[in-house]
Amino acid sequence: MKNYNPTSPGRRQMSVVHMDALTKEEPMKKLLVKLSKRSGRNSQGRITMRHQGGGAKKLYRLVDFGQDKLNVPARIMSIEYDPYRTAFIALALYRDGEWRYILASKNLRVGDEIITAESAPLTEGNRLHLKNIPVGYLVHNVELKKGKGGQLARSAGSYAEILAHDVGHTHLKLSSGEVRKVQWGNYASIGQAANPDHNLTVIGKAGRTRWMGIRPTVRGSAMNPRDHPYGGGEGRALRGTRRPKTKWGKITGGRKTRKKKKWSNKMIIKRRK
């Protein structure tokens, strides 16, 4: 982590992740796409997600989560920052001449060689079937459905630990504490996702959240009674309701939101804490 000296109120206690491991090169143009900003609006222009808008201009990197080029070695040419995700990405050059962005693992370095195969060597960055990875190994970018690409453990520093292999399934312990079964013919990448210090970042000032496209959030207790269940009153008033609620009166604290008949319930061995 890089900590700043308190040269101004905004710099006091501000910190960022060290970018020393990143390659000082421009991203590859043919793997960039301009996404239109939605600012939390749906197709009708109505706000469906509050507190979004503004932010610095950015281009989307076309990341290959599936890495479906089997048995073709690739060399890592650069480790780069991605403004659309917390983990770092790596630019891979395959032996057949194709360039692709992939999710970088924690210890992946420029010049390393990786491969996707059913039973690839057990080195960091390689991608192989879950059934061929020994118990105790850490994996990331895990497939939930075969051929769909990685969906589990993709954010900065996240990983899943392989606990056991059952007939047809592998038991994974996720960072939330949940233990679930995944078909052992699905692919996963060995190692922990890059940028594990991301959660130690101190924003430092309000303007930095605006750069990130996050708009201000108003407390419910500061509103009028018509605008929020917590609103109104003289001075600092009590909440006035037994259970925490949203602006629309929906209960938030201590209420389970997962569907009781969700198809994947049978795949969960142990719930998250």
Q: Which two tokens stand for residue 88?
A: 């770092």
* Residue 273, pLDDT score: 82
Q: Which CATH class for the 218-273 domain?
A: few secondary structures
* Residue 241, pLDDT score: 87
- When pLDDT is cut at 50, 70 and 90, the band that residue 253 belongs to is confident
Phi-psi region at 55: left, alpha or beta (left = phi > 0; alpha = psi -120 to 50): left
Please report, for the chain, the start and end positions of each structural domain, with discontinuous segments joined by +: 18-199, 218-273
Sheet holding 99-103, edge to edge: 99-103, 89-94, 74-80, 113-114
218-273 shares the fold of 18-199: no
Which residue from 102, 106, 108, 76 is spatially nearest to 89, judged by alpha carbons?
102
**CATH architecture of the domain formed by 18-199:** Beta Barrel (2.40)
- When pLDDT is cut at 50, 70 and 90, the band that residue 240 belongs to is confident
Per residue in 72-96, pLDDT tens? 999 999 999 999 999 999 999 999 9
- When pLDDT is cut at 50, 70 and 90, the band that residue 63 belongs to is very high
